[in-house]
């Protein structure tokens, strides 16, 4: 299997703070790659550098053979790298169905499509697809509710649905279960395991070790802006450096 995402020598400084220092990371196609690390380790900054929200000071991000640095966020999306946000970035004034239809329309019609005289009601296929994805994720009874009015856990699931409907080559999940009750967390793990079988590559940033060890094929540990270890879950569990930096307290 080849690498779908290659991050080489990426560093990012905010003022005097070295958020990321010389990151090297390879994500193999068809796997779930988890990035773990304590708060402030630079996990979200790394994702932001991948999707064009931030431009790294040095280094390169190569996705599917193409350099992503300097590309517009909408072009990165169409290249097949899609991010699910940690704090729900949804369209609060629109219904859940519309929220999920938008990424589907984007996938079908591209970055700009001027069709003011097409009636929405004729978009039956997209509507059915969106409804299907919402039902799969357990929001089938809320399709016509306004996205701003649903619970936080449901918003997280809506975020995930918006990412999944695009069938991206690589899905970047930023703490998909943060703020969820244990019951919802387990449902999300189940869902992610189910879609793992479809062969979608995923990078997951996560605090919850239960989630990480039940999903990930490979784990990278980020601490103080550097990757201190990469390996299988077993390797990581037994790595003394990781224990010291991150797991140590929990194991005592």
Q: Which residues bind other proteins (CB under 8 A)?
A: 51, 53, 72-74, 77-78, 82-83, 85, 89-94, 98, 101-103, 105-107, 109-121, 123, 162, 166
Write down the least CB distance from residue 75 to other proteins, Å: 8
Pairs from 223-232 (Cβ < 8 Å, separation ≥ 24): 223/37, 223/38, 223/41, 224/21, 224/41, 224/42, 225/11, 225/18, 225/19, 225/20, 225/21, 225/23, 225/41, 225/42, 226/21, 226/22, 226/23, 227/23, 227/24, 227/25, 230/25
Write down the least CB distance from residue 99 to other proteins, Å: 8
> Closer CB to other proteins, residue 121 or residue 183?
121
Give CA–CA dist 160/88, Å, rounded.
9
Compute how many other C-beta atoms are within 10 angstroms of the C-beta atom of residue 84.
23
> Closer CB to other proteins, residue 115 or residue 251?
115
Write down the least CB distance from residue 53 to other proteins, Å: 8
Write down the least CB distance from residue 74 to other proteins, Å: 5
> Closer CB to other proteins, residue 109 or residue 234?
109
């Amino acid at each position: 299997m080849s690498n779908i995402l290659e991050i080489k020598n990426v560093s990012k400084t905010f003022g005097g703070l070295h958020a990321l220092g010389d990151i090297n990371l390879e994500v193999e196609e068809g796997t779930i790659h988890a990035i773990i690390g304590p708060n402030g380790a630079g996990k979200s900054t790394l994702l932001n550098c991948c999707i064009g929200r931030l431009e790294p000071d040095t280094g390169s991000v190569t996705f599917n053979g193409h350099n992503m640095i300097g590309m517009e966020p909408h072009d990165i999306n169409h290249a097949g790298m899609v991010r699910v946000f940690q704090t729900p970035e949804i369209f609060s004034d629109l219904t859940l169905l519309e929220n999920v239809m938008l990424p589907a329309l984007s996938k079908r019609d591209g970055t700009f499509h001027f069709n003011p005289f097409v009636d929405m009601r004729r978009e039956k296929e997209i509507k059915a697809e969106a409804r299907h994805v919402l039902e799969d994720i357990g929001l089938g009874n809320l399709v016509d509710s306004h996205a701003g009015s649903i619970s936080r856990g449901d918003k997280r699931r809506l975020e995930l649905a918006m990412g999944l409907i695009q069938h991206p080559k690589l899905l970047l999940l930023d703490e998909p279960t943060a703020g969820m009750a244990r019951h919802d967390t387990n449902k999300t793990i189940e869902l992610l395991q189910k879609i793992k079988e479809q062969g979608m590559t995923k990078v997951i940033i996560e605090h919850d070790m239960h989630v990480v060890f039940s999903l990930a094929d490979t784990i990278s540990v980020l601490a103080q802006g550097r990757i201190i270890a990469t390996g299988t879950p077993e390797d990581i569990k037994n790595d003394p450096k990781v224990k010291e930096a991150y797991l140590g307290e929990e194991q005592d």
